[in-house]
Amino acid sequence: MERLQAFKFVLMPTGEQARKMRQFAGACRFVYNKALALQKENHAAGGKFVGKFAIGKHLTAWRNSADTPWLAEAPRHALMMATQDCDRAFQNFFAKRAEFPRFKRKGEHDGFQFPDKNQIALDSGNGRIKVPKLGWLRYRHSRDVLGEVRSASVSLRAGKWYVSILTKREVEQPVPHGPAVGIDVGVTRLATLSDGTYIVPLASFKKHEQRPAKYQRRMARKVKGSSNWKKSKARVQRIHAHIANARNDFLHKASNTISKNHAMIAVEDLQVRNMSKSAAGAADAQGCNVRAKSGLNKSILDQGWFEFRRQLEYKTAWRGGFFVAVPPQNTSRTCPSCGHISAENRKTQALFACVRCGHEANADHVGAINVLERGQRLLACGETVQSGRSKKQEPADVTQAIAA
């Protein structure tokens, strides 16, 4: 089977290379905003949506225009990818997966892409990569790049340049091994497994929230746009990047351990975006319990529930296991012993006590057991699931794979 995998490294460019990369990122941002403005103007005039191939003709005109001669200095393929990013943003909007596209601003998600593998050369032994109009770029070689290089993406984050190298390689069909497990995510415990074990959340932002607040106050006292303001802003960005890196490292280690030791993983199909929405309400309809909901939202986003599920899903697929997302309704209110469903079964956040049979246990553990039971039921019925082999499995094949 073929596997696509990205390898990300910190770049160590020269001063001239760093200057060019900022210029290329600015050119791609300009082209993206130009394409977005063209779409909005065309829509206001009563025209139809302009496809990415038609936008390509406009890109040629922009590169040859006397008003923007500096666009010709940027790699053409990188500019083409910027127009395709704008097209993809509109497609996501039409499919109701995202909001209406917004104009990009300098300093937010600066970067560019090299989609043509024939223009990329990799010297993994010496930690170098060659890309158009930049030549050989040194990067911090922390691990070997496996497979054939397909594309490369360069990005700027908190003052550091990164390169993400996408590769494709043939791997043997993995065979899942280990038991099935259900996972219940929560605030006190990041993940409670159906076997009784649990993972305590790192809460990286909560541990360090005083530090960014301190330097954000210092930045607020400086003149916006001044040199000292820019230095303070860079420091705040480095602190937030450190917090995010700690969170990602923790989630990768946790998801890697779980996916490696279990053949089937069942989780709740939580809509994290809706769960973490503000409760402030509008001016004419004020919300209630705003402060408590704000604290809950901060904890959910700090722990990275969505990212944890995303990592579990693709790592389980890599190892040939089965990933199931089950409906979350009443998972922590259903008694695993007698099946009684009632809100009275969970009078407190931590304790589950069935009002019918008297079964008592930790509420998160009960939820994980019910999640596992629902996941196994979906597999037994042959429902569509996320797996490393296909989107739909026969019941006998699934049972045999888990037993192996």
CA gap 372, 179 in Å, rounded: 11
Place of tokens 């722990």: 303
Nearest to 345 by CA among 370, 382, 321: 370
3-state class (DSSP) for residue 364: helix
Which amino acid type is present at position 292? A
Q: Which of 87, 302, 313, 364 is catalytic?
A: 364
CB 327 within 8 A of CB 367: no
Whole-number Cα distances in Å, 92 to 95, 179, 331: 5, 37, 31
Annotation marks residue 269 as catalytic:
no
Q: Which of 110, 268, 302, 373 is catalytic?
A: 268
DSSP state of 127: T
**Residue ranges of the alpha helices (H) in 227-278?**
227-260, 272-275
CB 327 within 8 A of CB 339: no
Exposed (0-12), middle (13-18) or buried (19+): which is 35, by Cβ within 10 Å? buried
CA gap 284, 28 in Å, rounded: 42
Annotation marks residue 184 as catalytic:
yes
How many beta carbons lie within 10 A of that of residue 137, not counting itself?
Answer: 21
CB 391 within 8 A of CB 385: yes
**Long-range pairs, 272-279, Cβ under 8 A, ≥24:** 272/300, 272/305, 272/306, 273/306, 275/300, 276/300, 276/301
**Residue ranges of the alpha helices (H) in 168-304?**
204-208, 210-220, 227-260, 272-275, 290-303
Q: Which of 87, 110, 184, 302 is catalytic?
A: 184
Tokens linked to 31: 């082209």
3-state class (DSSP) for residue 334: strand
Annotation marks residue 123 as catalytic:
no
How many beta carbons lie within 10 A of that of residue 273, not counting itself?
Answer: 8
- To 10 degrees, what angle do helices 76-94 and 15-44 make? 40
- The catalytic site residues sit at 184, 268, 364
